[in-house]
Amino acid sequence: MAILSRLQGKEIEIGANKVFIHDSSNLGLIFFGVIFIVILVTNYSVRGLSSGIVIMAFVLSFVLLLYFNLWEKFSGWFMSHKIYLDEGAYLWFSILLSVMWAVVVFGFDRISYWQVEPGQLTRESLFGSGSKSYNTQGMMLEKHQDDVFRHWLLGIGSGDMQIRTSGATREQIDIPNVLFVGSKVAAIQRLIAEVPEE
């Protein structure tokens, strides 16, 4: 949206500053529509086939309303306030979201991790609780990739991993949003099936 505002927008002077604003309010509608959909679907999980149906119905309705210029009639009184953002608004909002995503994925998510060895699964934490180990005998692993939007469109093939331990203190451990979950589950299953050396 920032690139379209720069290339196709009009240069407008506001005070001592010159900004580029696209003359169509559809850019702002699409921008906020996509952000709304991402926030909604990542916080409220709709699994299986119903996930794809809900998303496609919402997107199709939104696009059709824009295409037939029915959005203003459909949305009523609040559409009298158009959404116009300049190039800088699109750019800075996107940069801030990208920086926060990078901090979470490459920073906070790496504070705790799982280490798999033959016969043993250990959760390591860099700060706080230290580590906790589980015996892999009788352990069950499951992968769940049934949320079309969160796992496939946004997650690029990610999935949720579920680990069930055995023994006297059974636990169910849920690890959400594991990237390339299929290959990781296969590697973990191969390692936990190995008999540890004495």
Which pLDDT belongs to residue 113?
84
Average of per-residue pLDDT values in the chain: 82
Which pLDDT belongs to residue 83?
82
Strand partners, 160: 144
Distance CA 27, CA 18 (A): 20
In a shared domain, residues 58 and 95: yes
Q: Is the pLDDT of residue 80 over 70?
A: no
In a shared domain, residues 161 and 116: yes
Which pLDDT belongs to residue 118?
82
User: Tokens 């496939």, residue?
Assistant: 152
- The domain boundary residue, chosen from 72, 106, 140: 106
Residue 198 lies in a domain: no
In a shared domain, residues 189 and 152: yes
Q: Is the pLDDT of residue 147 over 80?
A: no
Burial 128-159 (b: 16+ CB within 10 A, else e): eeeeeebebeebebebebbbbbbbbeebeebb
- The number of folded domains in the chain is 2
- Domain membership of residue 151 as a residue range: 111-193
Given pLDDT bands bounded at 50, 70 and 90, which one contains residue 157?
A: confident
pLDDT: is 67 or 99 the higher one?
Answer: 99
Find the mean pLDDT for residues 33-59. Answer: 77
User: Tokens 């407008």, residue?
Assistant: 12
Given pLDDT bands bounded at 50, 70 and 90, which one contains residue 90?
A: very high
